[in-house]
């Protein structure tokens, strides 16, 4: 077990190094950093001096080691655009994106899992067919269209919910949260639904397929033959076995939700990392883009680690090494 | 107590209703073990499923009566039927590996089952569960009950399954092939247990199986089914000892006896493929027969696999699959290799074919030494001289290739026949040599039954002009009557072409029919080797004696 976790963590270190290398290459090779930092009137001699000061003439490997070391110490460099430390910029944006992602995930699970179970247990019901059709429409429409439609209906026509921004936020330490005010929740609802729709459909269809598979298995038939109460059969026996593969996909998708909340954030002008990333692209703000890459990769690695641990928690067969 | 009358089950489909069983009559008394025997597709399991009310989805009971005591099982509502399940009727499935929920402890599964049918506290249910496990023969039950299914061996798991089935004191248990997935030693324990439960608790058992030996050993009465209909039924001694129905007779003839060797099985004539058309292939094989008959000798062969790694710093202890195996197979003879699952039988086959690399030892095919594993290159002559017939004919043929292409492949691959037309002719002729219609070359594997596919697999192996053939459980996926045909075929081909065969099986009776010499393998070690007759009649090793004793057989007086 300990060996298993250690192995996963060492693998994660290598993944992070690979991503750091990509981010570094972005810095170093997408255009000349010096010419982006300086104006046209800077003399060649000054440019050369700057190059020497910034260590850009050092050997490649040396530069990479220094870059990774700085990253490790939490020094992410400065934005070309705002002249602020990138670390501060990202840190101020992370809460918004995380809250959005987590709420979207929760919505998708709260709706997706029960819907999946229902449609699996009544594969021929009328409601099942209706749900399957609606969700198919749901995935076929691109995220931004859904967002705009929601804004149009609930924001413009009905005027119930705000159409942009985070609404009222509360500062808790360095974390700016919109989860503690009604206003914040009102602002959060539409973007979270928009972001969660795809995930919801995926979860539902996955739960449905897995559950139908599990219901055909021998141990469910044996439990039926023993007269185990139906409710227990469905939720204790079948659902637990269904969740083993489903968790992997949900985990991977959650990484994706965080990483690709860009579209939703720009539709709702949600001040998260995705919006920051878009602005950075517009101004070719390479340090911010590089750090964004690293942060997102870190989330992916973290989520995967958590998924692996959940696996072990759910499935006793993976704990073989503990008990003999 | 259980009475089945005129039972018919139908499965609706697009092409009209398919009748799975028709007009089945049967009755089981308390404490009786009623054998239900037949080959695959006979509808045995459907009878069981209909009784317990768990027919697979579109299937339904078309007509007939099912009564358990005074209860009409067909008139129950779904909720009532679910109450009856477990409480009065329970079931044991074939594979103990898959019939327990892997995510729940044995304790949870037992307690929930007990509590589902009687209003007892959790601690009372736990106490009863522990007592049950003790009774079933699980030592230290109070602690073992906390374990998950994967922490039990196959035989122990089947005991747990039985404990679950009897935990609610049912009147009837439907046991669907309860010992098919088990080794003989475990099988005999489980059968003893079933007999004991029938006697002590007066539980009625419906024992569904394809193994006539099992029926002969434990069943009081037997019903023989074929294609959804009852052929014959009555006391076991009477039905199996003096079968009246021709089908029962044919079935009995096809069962290989353990205590003597038959030259051939009596097999009713099959759809009359014309063996004369096999001349072309026969001549071709004989003409290629310039080589001597080739023997194989293994010396001190050891194969180890790495165990699961649990720590960074220590190498995991290796799992020894084969331990210093020395074996000499005489040219032109059949060597039988028997042993329980996990004894290393298949590893030996893989080492010889180069799929697994041994850690030490030598392998000699005739006079040439065989290189190990991957160091044996693609064009090494042994790749052609050694061929293999696998256990499962459903997965050993590529389902997207035509039979003609499957058979022609060795011909072009080894460069025997350059002309494509010639190859096709030879493949067609080969098919009639193995007893099939030559026009099968245009078809795909899925168009054939298991037995026919195994014939195709044999034909493919022969077209490589092998001198040494490895048959790894070639008949264990097949029904007895088909098994008899394939065994006859292998015998014929072996004597015609002077092949040397390594015949691997867990079924001692089958090996007795086939092998000149027999080796008994256990935990990677050879326990005993010798003339088959000697090994079976005067076994030296204790282990061989146990195996022979435990194999279920029919009393010899029953055999015609």
Joined together, the tokens standing for residue A200 give: 């919801």
CB-CB neighbors (< 8 A) of A228 in chain B: 86, 112-113, 116
- The ipTM is 0.81
Q: Do B103 and A240 touch (CB under 8 A)?
A: yes
Buried b or exposed e, range B36-66, using 16+ CB within 10 angstroms: bbbbeebbbbbbbbbbbbbbeeebebbebeb
* For chain A, percent of residues with pLDDT exceeding 90: 18
Query: Where is pLDDT greater, at B306 or A301?
Result: A301
Candidates B529, B550, B553; CA nearest to B541 is B529
CA-based nearest distance A22→chain B, Å: 30
What pLDDT band is residue A322 in, cutting at 50, 70 and 90?
very low
Give the DSSP H/E element, type plus range, for residue A284: none
**pLDDT surpasses 60 at B273:** no
Candidates B84, B50, B82; CA nearest to B70 is B84
Average pLDDT of B515-528? 94
B472 sits in the region (left: phi over 0; alpha: psi -120 to 50; else beta) called beta
Joined together, the tokens standing for residue B181 give: 């997935």
Average pLDDT of A145-155? 87
| pLDDT at residue B293 in the model | 83
Query: Where is pLDDT greater, at B91 or A322?
Result: B91
CA–CA separation, A86 and A67 (whole Å): 14
| pLDDT digit string, tens, across residues A173-198 | 777 777 777 788 888 888 888 888 88
Q: What is the arrangement of strands in the sheet containing B60-68, beginning at the earlier edge strand? A: B18-28, B2-11, B60-68, B71-72
**pLDDT surpasses 70 at B549:** yes
Show the DSSP H helices in B242-278 as ranges: 246-254
**pLDDT surpasses 80 at A128:** yes
From the CB of residue B311, how many other CB atoms can be counted at a distance below 10 Å?
11
DSSP assignment letter at B154: H
A230 interfaces chain B, CB cutoff of 8 Å: yes
| pLDDT at residue A166 in the model | 79
Residues 274-333 in B contacting A (C-alpha not used; CB under 8 Å): 308-312
Please answer whether residues B321 and B524 qualify as being in contact, where contact means their C-beta atoms are separated by less than 8 angstroms: yes
Bridge partners, residue B303, by sequence: B322
| pLDDT at residue A89 in the model | 85
Query: Where is pLDDT greater, at A311 or B431?
Result: B431
**pLDDT surpasses 70 at A68:** yes
What number of C-beta contacts closer than 8 Å exist between A and B? 92
| pLDDT at residue B270 in the model | 52
B242 interfaces chain A, CB cutoff of 8 Å: no
Candidates B48, B52, B56, B51; CA nearest to B18 is B56
The helix/strand/coil state of A226 is: coil
| pLDDT at residue A324 in the model | 34
From the CB of residue A87, how many other CB atoms can be counted at a distance below 10 Å?
15
| pLDDT at residue B289 in the model | 60
Of B95, B100, B113, the CB nearest to A228: B113
Please answer whether residues A76 and A70 qualify as being in contact, where contact means their C-beta atoms are separated by less than 8 angstroms: yes
Query: Where is pLDDT greater, at A164 or B468?
Result: B468
**pLDDT surpasses 90 at B113:** yes
| pLDDT digit string, tens, across residues B303-314 | 998 876 666 677
Q: Where are the beta strands (DSSP E) in chain A?
A: 170-172, 175-177
The helix/strand/coil state of B517 is: strand
CB-CB neighbors (< 8 A) of A225 in chain B: 52, 54, 85-86, 89-91, 165, 174
CA–CA separation, B359 and B356 (whole Å): 10
CB-CB neighbors (< 8 A) of B106 in chain A: none
| pLDDT digit string, tens, across residues B479-507 | 888 899 899 999 988 988 889 999 999 99
A241 interfaces chain B, CB cutoff of 8 Å: yes
Query: Where is pLDDT greater, at A275 or A4?
Result: A275
B401, exposed or middle or buried, with CB in 10 Å at 0-12, 13-18, 19+?
Answer: middle
The least confident of A147-161, A198-212, B271-285 is B271-285
The least confident of A2-11, B368-377, B468-477 is A2-11
Q: Could you give the count of Cα atoms lying within 13 Å of A265 in the half-sphere of its Cβ?
A: 24
CA–CA separation, A264 and B482 (whole Å): 64
Joined together, the tokens standing for residue A91 give: 């840190």
Q: Do B102 and A241 touch (CB under 8 A)?
A: yes
User: Among all residues of chain A, which has the CA nearest to that of B93?
Assistant: A222
| pLDDT digit string, tens, across residues A223-267 | 999 999 999 999 989 999 998 888 888 888 888 888 778 888 888
Residue B174 C-alpha from the chain's centroid: 20
User: What domains can be seen in chain A, in order of their start residue?
Assistant: 2-71 (no CATH), 93-319 (1.10.3720.10)
| pLDDT at residue B272 in the model | 47
Of A236, A317, A321, the CB nearest to B102: A317
Look over chain A and give the mean of its residue pLDDT values, rounded to a whole number.
Answer: 84
CA-based nearest distance A111→chain B, Å: 25
| pLDDT digit string, tens, across residues A79-95 | 777 878 888 888 888 88
Domains of chain B by residue range: 2-253, 275-307+323-372+382-558
| pLDDT digit string, tens, across residues B369-401 | 999 988 888 888 889 999 999 988 888 999 899
CB-CB neighbors (< 8 A) of B310 in chain A: 3, 321
Please answer whether residues B376 and B369 qualify as being in contact, where contact means their C-beta atoms are separated by less than 8 angstroms: no
What pLDDT band is residue A123 in, cutting at 50, 70 and 90?
confident
Look over chain B and give the mean of its residue pLDDT values, rounded to a whole number.
Answer: 89
DSSP assignment letter at B144: H
Q: Do B168 and A6 touch (CB under 8 A)?
A: no
Q: Do A224 and B102 touch (CB under 8 A)?
A: no
Residue B79 CA: distances (Å) to CA of A18, B53, B58: 59, 11, 19
B495 interfaces chain A, CB cutoff of 8 Å: no
Of A6, A219, A227, the CB nearest to B101: A219
The least confident of A36-40, B358-362, B552-556 is A36-40
CB-CB neighbors (< 8 A) of A226 in chain B: 85-86, 90-91, 113, 116, 164-165, 167-168
| pLDDT at residue A323 in the model | 39
What pLDDT band is residue B268 in, cutting at 50, 70 and 90?
low
Please state which of the four CATH numbers 3.40.50.300, 2.40.110.10, 3.60.60.10, 3.90.1490.10 is assigned to the domain occupying B275-307+323-372+382-558: 3.40.50.300
B81 interfaces chain A, CB cutoff of 8 Å: no
* For chain B, percent of residues with pLDDT exceeding 70: 96
B161 interfaces chain A, CB cutoff of 8 Å: yes
B500 interfaces chain A, CB cutoff of 8 Å: no
Give the DSSP H/E element, type plus range, for residue B303: strand B296-305
Of B116, B161, B312, the CB nearest to A229: B116
Query: Where is pLDDT greater, at B458 or A47?
Result: B458
The least confident of A192-196, A311-315, B155-159 is A311-315
From the CB of residue A14, how many other CB atoms can be counted at a distance below 10 Å?
9
| pLDDT at residue B341 in the model | 83
Backbone angles phi, psi at B176, to 5 degrees: -95, 100
Candidates B52, B125, B78, B12; CA nearest to A221 is B52
B2-253 topology per CATH: Rossmann fold (3.40.50)
CB-CB neighbors (< 8 A) of A223 in chain B: 101, 109
A10 interfaces chain B, CB cutoff of 8 Å: no
Of A219, A244, A315, the CB nearest to B100: A219
């Amino acid at each position: 077990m300990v060996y298993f976790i250690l192995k996963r963590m060492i693998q994660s270190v290598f993944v992070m190094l690979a991503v750091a290398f990509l981010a570094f290459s972005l810095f170093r090779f997408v255009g000349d950093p010096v010419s982006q930092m300086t104006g046209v009137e800077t003399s060649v001699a000054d440019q050369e001096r700057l190059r020497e000061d910034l260590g850009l003439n050092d050997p490649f490997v040396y530069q990479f080691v220094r870059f990774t070391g700085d990253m490790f110490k939490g020094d992410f460099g400065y934005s070309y655009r705002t002249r602020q430390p990138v670390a501060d910029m990202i840190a101020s944006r992370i809460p918004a994106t995380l809250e959005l992602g987590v709420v979207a995930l929760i919505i998708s699970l709260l709706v997706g899992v029960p819907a999946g179970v229902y449609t699996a247990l009544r594969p021929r019901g009328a409601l099942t067919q209706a749900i399957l059709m609606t969700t198919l429409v749901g995935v076929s429409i691109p995220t931004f269209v859904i967002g705009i439609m929601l804004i149009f209906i609930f924001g413009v026509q009905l005027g119930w919910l705000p159409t942009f921004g985070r609404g009222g936020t509360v500062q808790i330490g360095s974390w700016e949260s919109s989860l503690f005010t009604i206003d914040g929740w009102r602002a959060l609802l539409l973007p979270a639904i928009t972001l969660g729709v795809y995930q919801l459909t995926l979860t539902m269809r996955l739960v449905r397929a897995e559950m139908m598979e599990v219901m055909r298995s021998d141990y469910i038939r044996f439990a039926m033959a023993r007269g185990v109460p139906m409710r227990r059969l469905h939720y204790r026996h079948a659902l637990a076995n269904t969740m083993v593969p489903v968790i992997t996909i949900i985990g991977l998708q959650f990484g994706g939700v965080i990483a690709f909340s860009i579209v939703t954030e720009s539709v709702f002008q949600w001040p998260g990392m995705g919006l920051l990333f878009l602005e950075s692209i517009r101004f070719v703000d390479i340090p911010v883009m590089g750090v964004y890459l690293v942060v997102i990769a870190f989330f992916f690695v973290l989520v995967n680690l958590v998924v692996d641990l959940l696996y072990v928690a759910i499935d006793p067969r993976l704990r073989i090494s503990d008990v003999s | 107590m259980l009475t089945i009358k005129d039972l018919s089950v139908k499965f609706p489909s697009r092409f009209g209703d398919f009748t799975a069983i028709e007009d089945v009559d049967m009755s089981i008394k308390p404490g009786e073990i009623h054998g239900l025997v037949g080959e695959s597709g006979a509808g045995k399991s459907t009878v069981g499923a209909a009784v317990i009310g768990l027919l697979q989805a579109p299937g339904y009971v078309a007509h007939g009566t099912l009564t358990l005591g005074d209860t009409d099982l067909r008139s129950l509502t779904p909720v009532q039927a679910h109450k009856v399940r477990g409480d009065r009727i329970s079931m044991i499935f074939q594979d103990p590996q898959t019939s327990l929920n892997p995510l729940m402890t044995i304790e949870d599964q037992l307690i929930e089952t007990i509590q589902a049918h009687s209003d007892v506290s959790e601690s009372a249910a736990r106490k009863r569960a522990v007592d049950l496990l003790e009774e079933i023969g699980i030592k230290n039950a109070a602690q073992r009950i906390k374990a998950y299914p994967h922490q039990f061996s196959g035989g122990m798991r089947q005991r747990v399954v039985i404990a679950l089935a009897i935990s609610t004191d049912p009147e009837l248990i439907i046991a669907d092939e309860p010992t098919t997935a088990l080794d003989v030693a475990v099988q005999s324990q489980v059968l003893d247990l079933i007999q004991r439960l029938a006697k002590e608790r007066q539980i009625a058992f419906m024992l569904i199986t394809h193994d006539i030996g099992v029926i002969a050993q434990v069943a009081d009465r037997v019903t023989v089914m074929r294609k959804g209909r009852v052929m014959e039924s009555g006391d076991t001694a009477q039905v199996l000892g003096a079968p009246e129905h021709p089908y029962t007779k044919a079935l009995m003839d096809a069962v290989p006896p353990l205590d003597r060797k038959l030259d051939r099985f009596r097999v009713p004539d099959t759809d009359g493929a014309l063996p004369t058309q096999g001349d072309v292939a026969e001549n071709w094989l004989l003409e290629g027969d310039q080589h001597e008959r080739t023997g194989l000798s293994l010396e001190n062969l050891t194969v180890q696999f790495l165990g699961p790694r649990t720590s960074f710093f220590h190498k995991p202890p290796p799992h020894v699959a084969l331990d210093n195996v020395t074996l000499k197979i005489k040219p032109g003879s059949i060597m039988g290799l028997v042993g329980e699952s996990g004894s290393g039988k298949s590893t030996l086959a893989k080492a010889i074919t180069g799929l697994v690399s041994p850690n030490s030892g030598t392998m000699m095919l005739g006079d040439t030494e065989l290189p190990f594993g991957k160091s044996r290159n693609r064009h090494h002559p042994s790749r052609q001289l050694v061929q293999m017939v696998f256990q499962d004919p459903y997965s050993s043929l590529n389902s997207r290739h035509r039979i003609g292409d499957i058979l022609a492949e060795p011909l072009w691959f080894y460069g025997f026949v350059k002309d494509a037309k010639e190859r096709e002719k030879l493949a067609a002729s080969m098919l009639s040599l193995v007893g099939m219609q030559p026009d099968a070359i245009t078809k795909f594997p899925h168009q054939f039954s298991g037995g026919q596919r195994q014939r195709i697999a044999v034909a493919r192996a022969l077209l490589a002009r092998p001198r040494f053939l490895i048959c790894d459980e070639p008949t264990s996926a097949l029904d007895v009557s088909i098994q008899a045909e394939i065994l006859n075929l292998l015998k014929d081909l072996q004597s015609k072409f002077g092949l040397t065969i390594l015949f691997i099986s867990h079924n001692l009776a089958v090996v007795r029919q086939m092998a000149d010499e027999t080796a008994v393998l256990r935990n990677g070690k050879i326990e005993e080797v010798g003339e088959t007759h000697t090994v079976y009649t005067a076994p030296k090793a204790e282990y061989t004696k146990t195996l022979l004793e435990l194999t279920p057989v029919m009393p010899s007086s029953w055999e015609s």
